[in-house]
Structure 1
Amino acid sequence: MVRENMPTMNLLTILLHLLATVCPSTSSISDSEICDEGHFKCNGSSVCVPQRQNCDAKFDCPDGSDEWNCADLPGATFWDHLFRKRPAAERDDQGHVDCAWRNFKSICACKGNDIFCQYKNISRVPALPSRNLMLLDLSGNPFTTLSESNLGKLPEVNTLVLQHCSINRIEKGTFDGLASTSTLYLSHNEIGELKEKLFPPQNKLKILVLSSNRLKTLPVNVFLNLAQLNELDLRSNSLTEVNALSLQPLVNLRTLYLNGNQLTTIKGSFPCLENMATLSLANNKLRDIPVNAFVNLPGLMYLFLSGNRLIKLRTGSFNNLDHLLALNLNENAIDEIEIEAFSPLVNLTSLDLKGNKFRKPDRTVLKSLGKLEYVYFDEFAMCLAARWVRVCEPKGDGISSLQHLLDNPILRASVWMMAVCACTGNILVLLGRLLARESNAVHSLYIRNLALSDLLMGLYLILIAAADIVYRGRYIDYEEIWRHSVTCNLCGFLSTLSCESSALILSLVTWDRFVSVTQPLARRQPSPRRATLHLVALWLASGIVAALPLTGASYFGNEFYGSNGVCLSLHIHDPFAKGWEYSAVMFILVNTVALVFIIYAYVRMLREIKISSVALRSTQESQERAVAQRFGVIVATDCLCWVPIIAVKLVALTAQR
């Protein structure tokens, strides 16, 4: 047994030595040293924990402090508030509460100090108690036009809800009687215009919700007299611009939602609003953030610019935002970030950069963000640009992680098992076919070439598994070196050569059998020489297909095989990277054509055998059953190999569109 294992051990030693040429060794950090960049000191001990082990749901510090403060509170608070419950639903948890007014009789429902007149098909406010009314919900009634005649006799009410009322016009003087109202919901209507001086001077309005209407512009004096307003919700309208003069009266405004509009620029949009803390401009059409765009908002703490069309972040765009805590720039088209773009954001704790075009952020771009605690990228390898940040997402791509090339232990074991089985099994096939005498030399030649093709995949798996051992526990430090190494390109070449040659050789074998069965008299068995020429042509074609990405052509870029840690050209994580059409043709077109042909050929052969059989019925049924089983196994194994690859590639392409 020892002798039999020697060649395998020698091969592994050679492979590890080869890989060591592209992976410099590093020494581990001793407990007595100060934590290096990318490591974080545990609370109350000298243990240093790598960035990748913070907030990974595993306790690595003696006191578990690496799992403390893992919630990104600024972002969570924003989304919780943005998608808050409807006003009436906030009372649902109170259970049964008696009406605050004795002998209350109305078509409306009463609960405590709240009255609900939802979807009662009324166009005027019914008779209601005149005092101590906290909430009046008139949602779903066809008011259409709001005026003093149908709304002016409202009692004093703290919160008024007029959602889903088909309101398309609000006349002047409508809200003159709402002197005590602090919260007004006018969302989900058809309001296309707001008149100037709509709110009376004596109003106490603090929250105004105008979301999901049809507003295109904001008149200059529309918010006059709203000096006490704290929150203004204008999301999901059709605003193309915002004039600073419109917002100027809102001196106490703290929260402004402008997301989901048609804004193309924000130049000159914001007056001096020192109390503004939250601003959402998400899901608009902004292409640029001008210099000093937010200079009049010095108290801004949460800024959301996701879902726009930003291409470049320039120096000075975030001037005077030294109180900003959270910045969302995800889902844009950013491909360039100037070195000093984030310099003013000295107190930033959360930064989201997912869903952009850049792939290699400069390592100095984020250096000014000394208090950054949470950063979000598309790829875990980008965390190299933020080694001092405690939590960097993602921590892996499903295959690799910040720590390991093959992150999952089951995946790691499976790669080794398949590598050993592929190499051992195909070597035995090659030796057996070479040593044993074969009555059908052509068939034996096909089998040997198919075994050689599958052996290449086994060698690829051994190289990947060996690389995982070399980089174990510190993969992120050498991730870029590995992906651009000669060994990774060799792995990509071997896997592509194996896949394409297997598909072509299987198609050739199927064609040979197909013609022999369907035209047994019209075709002679090909000679070994002719079969060899066919195989040489197939290997040459496969080799050219696998080698073209290594020619340095600009179409393929420099990461065709190195786009991921396992050096596959499948391009799942970035399906539209350079050379994606080439990858799609290889894994979708070629494999699909080969699979369809093989299925068709074997179904046709089975039919021909059934028709041409002249043996006894019992013998015929037995033979047909045996042939059907053999053909079924061949087709099933082909489907199991190729269908998942084709499906995954198609899903990746369609999901990104």
Structure 2
Amino acid sequence: MKSGCVLAVVFLAVFCHGSLSCPAVCKCYSRRMEVVCNDVPLIEYPSEGLPENTTMLTIQFTNITSISEQHLSATPLLQELHLNENHLENLSSHLLRGVPHLHTLDLTGNKLSNLPADVFSHAVIRSLVLKNNLINQADAEWLPDNSSLTWLDLSGNHLSKIPTTLLQRLPNLENVDLSNNRLEKLSSNSLDPLTKLGRLNLQNNKLNTLDASVFQRMHNLTSLFLSQNKLNKLPSNIFQELTQLTHLSLDDNQLSHIPTGLFDPLNSLEDDGLDLTGNPLLCDGKVEYLWRWLQKNKKKVFLAETITCALPELLAGRSVMSLTENEFKLS
């Protein structure tokens, strides 16, 4: 019994580097080297009392407004830091210099707007989540060249563009979420560095057209979300290189025509993998390609029967699949 108690105390001492304390409003889990401060009355980062051997720290639903390099230096072995749903307005430059082992940083649901240069340098971050903040400009200087990032979430911000210089620093990205922003345009070669990308979410932006070459280097892409934009036309060869694509959402755009050959390269689409609902399709002679493609690939299309004609008035509301060849050729 006594030896067991001694071992337990030694284990805790190793975790806490000589201190069995834990911030009063937090919970410390020695077996997982984890500290959780959840929905507590904090107004400052709780540096004092944090066990030095902490590898995972969660501080959420508090009133903390800033965090600095000095704060994080209290836990030099930190690997995961989750700071979602606080009131963070400021991050210091060189924020991660004291936590070189950090690989996951989640800052969801704060009030961050302008971030300083080098803010995410000095650590081998693989997952960076900045979702639902107030960021209106992304800066290449946030991250080092040849960054280790594989997951980047900038959704729910105020971005109107993504600089190519930032993406050039992220050759290892596998997942990018830029949904729910204000993106109006993607320059033709801006995504070229992202050759490892498997998932790209551009949903709910203000894109009205896309360059034919924008996805030309994305041979590993499996999921592409373009729904809820303002796309009114697409180049016929825009998906030519996306032979691994299993899911494509084009719903709730302004597409009136689907150009001949658009979906032909997409042989890897899974069942219900294509969503085309909510577009104002014009069912004239140009709808023939879509009509024939739907007949052959019905299982690959989500709610295929609900893809309907908006015009001409005579065919408005009709399912494209239900049309006869005479009907759309006479329109």
- What TM-score do the two structures reach when normalised by structure 1? 0.41
Shift of the 138–389 alpha-carbon distance from structure 1 to 2, 3 Å rule, reads: same
Q: Distance in 2 between matches of 1:287 and 1:556?
A: 23
1:258 is aligned, of 149, 169, 178, to 178
Does residue 354 (structure 1) correspond to residue 277 (structure 2)? The answer is yes
Letter paired with 2:179 = N
Percentage of pairs with the same residue? 25
Which structure dedicates a bigger proportion of its chain to strand?
Answer: 2
CA distance in 2, matches of 1:396, 1:342: 18
Taking the aligned partners of 1:308 and 1:231, their CA distance within structure 2 comes to: 23
Structure 1 contact 197–225 (Cα < 8 Å) conserved = no
Of residues 313, 320, 324, the one that matches 2:234 is 313
1:243 aligns with 2:163: yes
Aligned partners of 1:245 and 1:271 also within 8 Å: no
Flag the structure with higher helix content: 1
How big is each residue's C-alpha offset from its partner over 1:444-496, in whole Å with a ceiling of 9 and x where there is no partner?
xxxxxxxxxxxxxxxxxxxxxxxxxxxxxxxxxxxx9xxxxxxxxxxxxxxxx
Contact 1:255 1:277 in 2 (8 A): yes
Match of 2:295 in 1: 386
* 3-state secondary structure, aligned to 2:278: coil
Q: How far off its partner does 1:218 sit?
A: 1.3
Q: Take 1:558 and 1:307, find their aligned partners in 2: how far apart are those partners?
A: 27
The structure with the largest alpha-carbon Rg is 1
Aligned position for 2:130? 210
**Aligned AA (1:200):** S
Residue 109 of structure 1 corresponds to which residue in structure 2?
27
Aligned residue number for residue 4 of structure 2: none
Greater than 6 Å deviation, 4+ residue runs: none
Secondary structure of the 1:364 match is helix
Shift of 1:317: 2.1
Q: Secondary structure at the match of 1:312?
A: coil
Q: Please list, as runs of the form range in 1=range in 2, the aligned pairs for 1:365-404 lying within 5 A after superposition.
A: 365=290, 385-390=294-299, 392-394=301-303
8 Å CA contact retained: 2:151, 2:173? yes
Find the residue that maps to 1:149 and give its secondary structure.
Answer: helix
Q: Residues 126, 315 of structure 1: CA spacing in aligned structure 2 closer, same or farther, 3 A cutoff?
A: same
Cα distance change on mapping 1:390 and 1:127 into 2, 3 Å = same
Query: How far, CA to CA, are the matches of 2:304 and 2:268 in structure 1?
Result: 24
Distance 2:241 2:83 in 1: 38
> How far 1:327 moved relative to its partner?
0.7
Shift of 1:174: 1.6
* Unpaired runs of at least 5, structure 1: 1-97, 369-384, 398-479, 481-554, 565-657
1:278 touches 1:303 (CA, 8 Å); kept in 2? Answer: yes
CA–CA separation in structure 2 for the residues paired with 1:365 and 1:557 = 19
Q: Determine the structure 2 residue equivalent to 1:285.
A: 206
Secondary structure at the residue paired with 1:332? Answer: coil
Residue pairs, 1:54-69, within 5 angstroms: none
Counterpart of 1:130 in structure 2 is 52
Shift of 1:387: 3.2
Q: Aligned in 2, Cα 1:237/1:392: closer, same or farther, shift over 3 Å?
A: closer
Evaluate the alpha carbon distance shift between residue 304 and residue 104 of structure 1 in structure 2; reply closer, same or farther with a 3 A threshold. same
Instruction: Determine if contact 1:291/1:319 at 8 Å carries over to the other structure.
Output: no
Mapped contact 1:160–1:185 kept (Cα < 8 A): yes
Provide the secondary structure at the position in 2 that maps to 1:271: coil
Kindly tell me: are residues 141 and 280 of structure 1, through their superposed partners in 2, closer, same or farther at Cα, counting changes over 3 Å? same
Deviations 1:123-182, CA, capped at 9 Å, x for gaps: 132322222x34211123333222223333233122101122211222212211121111
Aligned residue identity for 2:159:
L
Assess if the C-alpha contact under 8 Å between 2:108 and 2:133 holds in 1: yes
User: CA RMSD, aligned part only?
Assistant: 2.9
* Counterparts of 1:278 and 1:209, CA distance in 2: 15
- 1:166 aligns with 87
Contact 1:294–1:320 under 8 Å retained in 2: yes
Query: Are positions 1:224 and 2:144 aligned together?
Result: yes
CA distance in 2, matches of 1:250, 1:123: 32
For 1:367 and 1:197, how far apart are their aligned partners in 2?
Answer: 53
User: Do 1:121 and 1:142's aligned partners in 2 also have CA atoms closer than 8 Å?
Assistant: yes
Asked whether the 8 Å contact 1:292–1:319 carries over to 2, the reply is no
- Across the two proteins, how many residue pairs are aligned to each other? 292
- In 2: Cα distance, 1:559 partner to 1:170 partner: 57
Cα distance between partner residues in 2 of 1:146 and 1:239? 23
Give the C-alpha shift of residue 392 in structure 1.
Answer: 4.8
